[in-house]
Amino acid sequence: FQYLRAVCSQVPDPSNWLSALESTKWLQHLSVMLKAAVLVSGAVDREGRPVLVHCSDGWDRTPQIVALAKILLDPYYRTMEGFQVLVESDWLDFGHKFGDRCGHQEKVEDQNEQCPVFLQWLDAVHQLLKQFPCLFEFNEAFLVKLVQHTYSCLYGTFLGNSPCEREMHNIYKRTCSVWSLLRAGNKNFHNLLYMPGSEQVLHPVCHVRALHVWTAVYLPASSPHPLGQDDMDIYPPPGSQSQEFSGRCLDRLPKTRSMDDLLSACDSSSPLTRTSSDPNLNNHCQEVRVGLEARHTTAEGAEPHLGEGSAGAAGEAR
Count the domains in the chain. 2
| Residue 57 annotated as binding site | yes
| Residue 8 annotated as binding site | no
| Residue 59 annotated as binding site | yes
User: Is the same domain home to 185 and 285?
Assistant: no
Inside any domain, residue 45: yes
What pLDDT score was predicted for residue 225?
45
Range of the domain at 296: 257-317
User: Is the same domain home to 109 and 213?
Assistant: yes
| Residue 315 annotated as binding site | no
Instruction: Tell me which residues are annotated as active site.
Output: 55
Whether 92 has a pLDDT exceeding 70, the answer reads: yes
What are the pLDDT digits (tens) for 115-126?
A: 889 999 999 999
User: Is the same domain home to 165 and 265?
Assistant: no
What's the CA gap between 228 and 225, in Å, rounded? 8
Give the CA dihedral 263, 269, 274, 275, nearest 10 degrees: 70
Inside any domain, residue 289: yes
190 pairs with which residues across the strands?
138
User: Is the same domain home to 271 and 217?
Assistant: no
What pLDDT score was predicted for residue 292?
64
What's the CA gap between 265 and 285, in Å, rounded? 5
User: Is the same domain home to 150 and 293?
Assistant: no
Region 199-207: mean pLDDT is 94
| Residue 153 annotated as binding site | no
- Sign, CA dihedral 79-80-81-82, equals positive
Inside any domain, residue 41: yes
| Residue 233 annotated as binding site | no
What are the pLDDT digits (tens) for 252-283?
A: 444 444 334 434 444 444 444 444 444 444 55
Region 177-206: mean pLDDT is 92
Inside any domain, residue 240: no
User: Is the same domain home to 310 and 179?
Assistant: no
Inside any domain, residue 88: yes
User: Is the same domain home to 17 and 116?
Assistant: yes
What are the pLDDT digits (tens) for 132-162?
A: 999 999 999 999 999 999 988 899 898 888 8
User: Is the same domain home to 195 and 304?
Assistant: no
Whether 305 has a pLDDT exceeding 50, the answer reads: no
| Total-model pTM | 0.67
Whether 31 has a pLDDT exceeding 80, the answer reads: yes
For residue 23, give the nearest of 9, 38, 4 by alpha carbon: 4
| Residue 230 annotated as binding site | no
Residue 179 burial (C-beta neighbours within 10 Å; 0-12, 13-18, 19+): middle
Q: Which residues contact 183 (CB under 8 A, 6 or more apart)?
A: 80
What pLDDT score was predicted for residue 307?
45
Higher pLDDT, 118 or 6: 118
Q: Which residues contact 204 (CB under 8 A, 6 or more apart)?
A: 34, 38, 72, 127, 128, 131, 132, 210
Inside any domain, residue 233: no
User: Is the same domain home to 219 and 291?
Assistant: no
Higher pLDDT, 66 or 255: 66
Inside any domain, residue 236: no
User: Is the same domain home to 21 and 140?
Assistant: yes
Inside any domain, residue 312: yes
User: Is the same domain home to 175 and 295?
Assistant: no
User: Is the same domain home to 269 and 220?
Assistant: no
